[in-house]
Amino acid sequence: MSGKEQYKQIHKVLEYIEEHLNDSLPLEKLAKVSTYSVYHFQRTFKAVTGETPAGYIKRLRLENAAHFLIYEQQIPVTQVAIMCGFSSLSYFTYSFNEYFHTSPKKWREGAYLERFPREYHDSKKSKFFSKKKKEGSETNTYNEFKWLDLTKVETIDLPVCATVNRQSIGPYTIGIPDAWEDLYHWAKSRELLKPDTLIFGIPRNNPYITPPEKSRYDCRLEINPNGRSHVEDEAVYQFQGGKHVVYKFDEPVRYSERGKLIECYSELYSFWLPRSGYRYLGNPVELVQLEPVTGSLSIECKIKAICLAIEPK
């Protein structure tokens, strides 16, 4: 079986894991999704991801829990553990300590600020946080928007659509343009690029929580569901769309300028979201423009807007 086919099968498993992360995910079930034997699945999964299936699932659950502990302050730690697929609080606490080198309680109360640029507006103050303030570290808090222009923040409904994907694994500042270039030429050669084609990226991981080398980024391009003969042996995925808060940039941002995006995300999550009456639902969406570079086969890819899936609290 070709490397491309193996990658496609493992990618199906990664999607399945994300959709059922809080469910029981025995090895046999995942192998069945991949269509491989258990033995071949384990070897192929590790070759593609660099992790065992069990290690990958545990890491995602812990990272998911870390996010909930910050942004869903009303949910007790025990419930976060259960929501994220852990069978007991003791095992969750042990695993969290092992991965993040702090307890879930301390993380929620402010230990996350060792990694994050600023405090979540609704988060509880802790001895850790108070100590940091006494030491003169005032840069992590503020009470005004420094990066976002509120006149450019709006809520819209993104459409449900079928997409073809390419994925980049690694730091979000490099590698992603190569994935976009591959997807662009694939789509252009099949005349699938239209003026209104929805082109977007999905960062699968929070860069303050997930190690850069393990971060996944989906490059996604809308296709006509009635014209799937054009996609041949490509896997087709469903984007659920729905209500999103959107921030549009005056000048599209290059992937190498990720720092600007991170600051804007941080203000949306930490300051706009808790005051907005909404709660976040999942991974961000980045609306992308792809433009060919004159006289070459290269393309220039830039982010036009960032979006967060939301629903009323």
Domains and CATH numbers, the chain: 3-134 (1.10.10.60), 151-312 (3.20.80.10)
d(CA 290, CA 52): 35
pLDDT in tens, 13-61: 999 999 999 899 999 999 999 999 999 999 999 999 999 999 999 999 9
* Look-up of token digits 């940091």: 132
pLDDT at 142: 38
Sign of CA dihedral 102, 104, 105, 109: positive
d(CA 65, CA 63): 5
d(CA 177, CA 172): 10
- The beta strand positions in the chain, using DSSP E, are 153-158, 161-169, 199-203, 216-223, 236-239, 242-254, 278-280, 285-292, 299-312
pLDDT at 270 over 80: no
Packing angle, helices 38-49 and 27-34, rounded to 10: 80
Radius of gyration of the chain (CA): 20
More confident position, 14 or 144: 14
pLDDT at 127: 43
pLDDT at 289: 96
* DSSP 3-state of 245: strand
Burial of 141 (0-12, 13-18, 19+ CB in 10 A): middle
Cα–chain center distance at 72 = 17
Band the pLDDT of 138: cuts 50, 70, 90. Answer: very low
Position 80: which residue type?
V
Which of 206-210, 227-231, 246-250 is the least confident region? Answer: 227-231
Which of 53-57, 100-104, 116-120, 193-197 is the least confident region? Answer: 116-120
Band the pLDDT of 143: cuts 50, 70, 90. Answer: very low
Tokens standing for residue 250: 């005056």
pLDDT at 137: 44
